[in-house]
Amino acid sequence: MKIRDNTYYPKHEFNKSYPLLSEKLLDRTLADLAEKEDILVFPTDLSKIKDLDDDNKIVEGINDSVHFKNIVGFIGQGSENLVIQSRFSEQNSDYFFNYLLQRVLNINIVDLETDISFDQYFYQLLIYVFPKYLNSAMRKGVYKEYRKFEYNDSNVRGVLDIARHVRVNIPFRGNIAYSTREFTFDNDLMELIRHTIEFIKLSENNSKNILRSSKMTQKNVAAVIEATPRYQINNRRKIINANKVAPVRHAYYTEYRILQRICLMILTGQKHGLNSNGNKVKGILFDVSWLWEEYVNLLLGDDFKHPQNKTKENGIFLYSEMYKRHRNLRVYPDFYNAATIIDTKYKQLDSSIKREDRYQIISYLHILNCKNAGVFYPTKEVGGLDKIGNLSGLGGTIFKYGLSIPQEVADFSEFSEEMLKSEQDVMTNLVAKLNNA
């Protein structure tokens, strides 16, 4: 049973094809799955997901149907492997999803093997996104925590260890056995990250490109190596077990908790697929609406401002200063400049703009006093700029722009070439025309 995002399926067919997963996934919230199961969600910060809040569901039961939302990825439990592809996928190749990953996450999809099963592809994907998780965590600095150190010298500065002192210092030669608790960078978590780096170096043919995908990645890999002088490959099992029983819990180090999980998934045999004898669901999921918005941000570049709704960055005041009581109320268009407002939608909009979306962009256009406002969406049809009409009253043009997603291509290379043609059309038939309107 092939599953695609934003699609309805008969509930009885889904339950029959995935009896274990249907019970685990149906009507459970994204936040609950991320917390209680071994599932990684990208972006790791759920607050960055615009159209999918913490209390939304990956798959929702509606009468006799199940509805899959804006989520793609890989989920498994026991012998069941569920692959959720984008609705633009063809047969077994989801070139559209792969292309978004390549552009937004800087993953070199061309180097991913194409003749492997989906569960092996899942494992390779874990390794390819590892640098992103590493860089996200290292923005908080190198992780440090208290660790017990044992000493045997004459400079006593900790708790005496009588049993060890008797064992190693008889006859007495002036040394005292003692132990201390010290803040150190060389702890079990940093050792786990180091083991993952060394594992990728040895196990992946493309390890150099993975661990050198950016200057930031190279810098952070070097910082991990420098912080772990006690690294020994023979200690890998010990380090894995120590991290399993002591997950990172401090809220400040949320990114490190997620990095810890992905390191454990890489090092504990996920290469054999999503199959697991445990009761937990395992997988990695991507919010496609977030990937789509970040991809459009790359296309539009510095020509447009990109406010952040969930993080309250670069919002536009809804009222003038004279309304003191509501002066902090703001709105957040996805993209705007002096002439044009663009709202990204990962929806099927080939027929018309939905009413709530239309009212939203009209309000943005009025508040910013722009000339144009519209939606930017992916389509299987012939895309391009569609000027819907000029507004009555204060005026302004309402439009929609469909970016053509190539269909029936031979391979990923051809798909990328066709996508580049669609992207070139954005600047000539969208930005330039609207700015000169």
pLDDT value, residue 308? 65
User: Are 27 and 58 within 8 A, CB to CB?
Assistant: no
- Return the DSSP state at 305: B
Pairing of strands 65-68, 80-85: unpaired
Question: Looking at the DSSP assignment, which residues form a beta bridge with residue 404?
Answer: 379
Cβ-based neighbours of 159, under 8 Å, separated by 6 or more: 178, 179, 180
| 327-364: pLDDT as tens digits | 567 777 888 888 888 999 988 776 778 888 888 888 88
Q: How far is CA 431 from the centre of its chain?
A: 28
Question: Looking at the DSSP assignment, which residues form a beta bridge with residue 424?
Answer: none
Q: Going edge to edge, which strands form the sheet with 397-404?
A: 335-336, 340-344, 372-379, 397-404, 384-390
* Residue 269, pLDDT above cutoff 80: no
Mean pLDDT along residues 397-412: 89
Q: What does pTM read for this prediction?
A: 0.79
Mean pLDDT along residues 55-61: 78
pLDDT value, residue 33? 82
* Residue 50, pLDDT above cutoff 70: no
Q: Which of 95, 98, 94, 88 is nearest to 125 (CA)?
A: 98
Q: Alpha-carbon dihedral of residues 41, 418, 429, 390, nearest 10 degrees?
A: -60
Which is more confidently placed, 11 or 30? 11
- The SS3 of residue 157 is coil
| 289-316: pLDDT as tens digits | 889 999 999 988 888 888 765 555 666 7
Pairing of strands 71-77, 282-287: antiparallel
User: Are 315 and 332 within 8 A, CB to CB?
Assistant: yes
* Residue 54, pLDDT above cutoff 50: no
pLDDT tier for residue 226 given thresholds of 50, 70 and 90: very high
Distances (CA, A) of 39 to 19, 36, 130, 185, 261: 18, 8, 15, 27, 9
- The SS3 of residue 378 is strand
Distance separating alpha carbons of residues 284 and 412, to the nearest angstrom: 22
Q: Which of 112, 96, 91, 102 is nearest to 418 (CA)?
A: 96
pLDDT tier for residue 383 given thresholds of 50, 70 and 90: confident
Which residue do the tokens 């150099």 mark?
208
Question: Looking at the DSSP assignment, which residues form a beta bridge with residue 159?
Answer: 179
DSSP codes of every residue in 18-81: -HHHHHHHTT-BHHHHHHHSEEEEESSSGGG-SS--TT-BSEEEETTEEEE-SEEEEEEETTEE
User: Are 422 and 380 within 8 A, CB to CB?
Assistant: no
**Taking the alpha carbons of 129, 131, 137, 143 in that order, is the dihedral positive or negative?**
positive
Of the CA atoms within 13 Å of residue 435, those in its CB half-sphere come to 13
Distance separating alpha carbons of residues 46 and 56, to the nearest angstrom: 11
* Residue 47, pLDDT above cutoff 50: no
Distance separating alpha carbons of residues 34 and 425, to the nearest angstrom: 39
